[in-house]
Amino acid sequence: MIDSYFKNFEKSIVMKGRAGAKPSTGKARSKSGSKITIDTRLLKEALIPLIPLDLTIETVRPVDSGGFSPEGVDLVAYRKYCPDIIGIMGGYVPGELIYGFYHIVQELTRDSLEKVLDTIAKAKKLNMFTDGDEAGAVPIPSFVIAANTRYKFSELKNDITNYYMTKSIEHQYEMDILLVLRKGVVVKNWREKRSFIALETLEDSAMWFYILMIEYLDVERVIDIDFRKYVKKDVVYNEY
């Protein structure tokens, strides 16, 4: 049933026909050890049919009403408030409509791990400091999808935990789910602070990533967006 659907998920998001690259076999690494490259467009197309009907996924920049627009987010899952919401916002999507961030890592090493964790911590501050509303703000879920790694999962889990402890990053700014194609997933354990669970799920990794991801996306939220807060013009109009 559901496991059969995800058997070819990895194949569907791998870059095809890249200049100078050998054709992919569809496996995370071939027998010769060659690497794969995740195509952002293909990943978007593969994820859209899997998320709740009222959401969509695009390569757009997030922004909150305070003007903060974090960099380094590859894909954004958001509620399509109206057909031309991105046009209205000048190419951005307002933070109130965002349900998830996606970060793509082609080669997961200690350096790239620290870089993406830092990017996530900054992106999760969206909506957190706007007009004094931070008390009721909820950090946006962040998902990492990695194509290749030489990490052992026990070491990966330890490096994630050690990074957050060393940098003293508040727990609400930690990543939520990390998927390494055809290897496994690392999941934030919300029952404890500074706690993660690493699972070597192998060929079932994409399936478990989806099951866990959808728990974050399929959440009832009251959309309360005030477009007046996004108007930054300092103009005094004639009033009669």
Tokens standing for 127? 């909506």
Name the nearest CA neighbour of 184 among 197, 171, 195.
Answer: 197
pLDDT of residue 25: 44
d(CA 66, CA 87): 19
Q: Average pLDDT over the chain, rounded to whole?
A: 89
pLDDT value, residue 219: 86
The stretches in the chain having pLDDT less than 70 are: 16-33, 131-136
What are the structural domain ranges in the chain? 2-221
Tokens 């026990």 correspond to: 154
The rounded distance, in Å, linking the Cα atoms of 52 and 101 is: 15
pLDDT tens by residue, 122-148: 999 999 987 555 545 789 999 999 999
Q: According to the 3-state scheme, what is the secondary structure of 8-75?
A: HHHHHHECCCCCCCCCCCCCCECCCCCECCECHHHHHHHHHHHCCCCEEEECCEEECCCCCCCCCCCE
Query: Which residue stretches of the chain are H helix?
Result: 2-5, 9-13, 40-47, 85-88, 110-123, 153-167, 205-217
The pLDDT of residue 30: 42
Residue 195 has what pLDDT? 92
